[in-house]
Amino acid sequence: MSLNAVSKHLFVLERAGLIERNIRGREHYCHLLAGPLEQAAAWLNHYREFWELRLDALEVHLAAKRTRKLTRRKARDRAR
C-alpha cells in the first residue's frame, strides 16, 4: 500500500473520530479512540440479535414447509 493511500485512510478515520493524530515534526502518531467503536458495536449487536431471531424463525418456517412438501409427496406416491 502506498504512503499516499495510508494517509488517505488515516484521514478518513480521523474525520470519523476514530483516531486522534499528533504530529511531531515529520512523524505522525495516531491513537485509537475506542468510544465511537463501542457505540457502533452496541448498535450492531442490537441488530445482530434482531436478525438472528428473524433468521431462526425463517429456518423453522422453511423446515416445516419442506416437511409438509415431503409428506404430501409420500402420500401422493402411495396413492398411485
One domain for residues 22 and 43: no
One domain for residues 42 and 58: yes
Number of domains the chain is built from: 2
How many residues would you count in the chain?
80
One domain for residues 28 and 49: no
One domain for residues 40 and 57: yes
Domain that holds residue 49: 34-80
Along the 80 residues of the chain, how does pLDDT read in single tens digits? 898 999 999 999 999 999 999 999 999 999 999 888 888 899 999 999 999 999 999 999 999 999 998 888 888 888 77
Upper half-sphere CA count for residue 47 (Cβ side, 13 Å): 5
User: Does the pTM of the predicted model rise above 0.75?
Assistant: no
> CA–CA separation, 57 vs 21, rounded Å?
46
